[in-house]
Amino acid sequence: MSGAETAQNEQVFSSNLLQGKKALVLGVANKRSIAWAIAQTLSRHGAQLAFTYQGDRIKDSVEKLVTTLPKKSPLFPCDVTKPEDIKNLYDGVRAEFGTLNYLVHCIAFAKKEDLEGRIIDTSREGYLMAHEVSAYSLLTVAKGAEPLMEKEGGSIVALTYLGSEKVVQNYNVMGMAKASLESGVRYLAHELGPKNIRVNGVSAGPVNTLAARGISGFTKMLDFHRQKAALCRNVEVEEVANTAFFLLSPLGSGITGEIIYVDAGYRIMGM
């Protein structure tokens, strides 16, 4: 491996910066999930965590991961398209934690058929599904968190992708949904700012997760990204997690409504 390809972050950082803080992480599916990398990082900096999982199908794998953390973490089922799940989630978080400091949104979904072919052919149902799960859900989970964050202030981070503002072949309806998500970040930042709740987005370069591996030609995309990126490499999931940590933590106290790119300098390149 050349120097440029070697991970730059072999050093693992820990601190007490988040000691006594409580974080809810949405979107862990397995050990490769960006949400899991963020959870581990928050835990290493002292935070206490709660998790959601989408359905019984992944309950066991999430449970197994969560028991590897030093502090016991409550786990709640939550399909964001089910309002009763969101209500039960926050009833549970209130009972376990009383307050909440941080919320991490790592959820996206579009039908496979809408991530290929022509965007013009997107069905109404597929469009609505992608937007409901990937963008509208930020509002519903933020709404649940708001009363729990009011006392101490809080911070929310959502994961997004460059396909929101530039055309990335086949990202299609997910690009529209991410544009909506990013706009939601700004409107929420304005609305929750007076309560000292910050809201930001982390725009990650392509990472080989479960969601990514469902996409045909993903390995080619990683190669292309590596060739074009200023740092001549792909991003490591730990780098995405460190930025989410920074934004959530007091280090990010002056930042809200922003989208920060963790893409090894891909987006800045012209030719």
Give the residue ranges of the annotated binding site for NAD(+): 27, 33-34, 54, 79-80, 107, 178, 207-211
Q: Point out the annotated binding site for substrate.
A: 110
91 Rama class: left (phi>0) / alpha (psi -120 to 50) / beta: alpha
Binders in 2-61 for ligand NAD, by CB under 6 A: 27-29, 33-35, 54
Please identify which of the residues 161, 187, 261, 266 carries the catalytic annotation. 161
User: Which positions from 111 to 140 touch ligand NAD by CB under 6 A, shown as an x/- string?
Assistant: ----------------------x-------
Q: Is 161 a catalytic residue?
A: yes
Minimum CB distance to ligand NAD, residue 217 (Å): 13
Counting Cβ atoms within 10 Å, is residue 70 exposed (0-12), middle (13-18) or buried (19+)?
exposed
> How many Å apart are CA 13 and CA 40, to the nearest integer?
11
Contact status: 184 vs ligand NAD (CB under 6 A):
no
Counting Cβ atoms within 10 Å, is residue 250 exposed (0-12), middle (13-18) or buried (19+)?
exposed
Among 104, 141, 157, 159, contact with ligand NAD (rule: CB under 6 A): 159
Counting Cβ atoms within 10 Å, is residue 58 exposed (0-12), middle (13-18) or buried (19+)?
middle
Enter the DSSP assignment of 203.
E
CB nearer to ligand 0WE: give 90 or 171: 171
20 Rama class: left (phi>0) / alpha (psi -120 to 50) / beta: left
Contact status: 204 vs ligand NAD (CB under 6 A):
yes
Q: Is 266 a catalytic residue?
A: no
CB nearer to ligand 0WE: give 90 or 266: 266
- Strands 102-105 and 197-204 come out as unpaired
Task: Identify what 107 binds: ligand 0WE, ligand NAD, none; CB under 5 to 8 Å per kind.
Answer: ligand NAD
Q: Are 211 and 108 in contact (CB under 8 A)?
A: yes
Active site amino acids:
161, 171
Q: Which residues are at the interface with ligand NAD (CB under 6 A)?
A: 27-29, 33-35, 54, 78-81, 106-109, 133, 159-161, 204, 206-207, 209-212
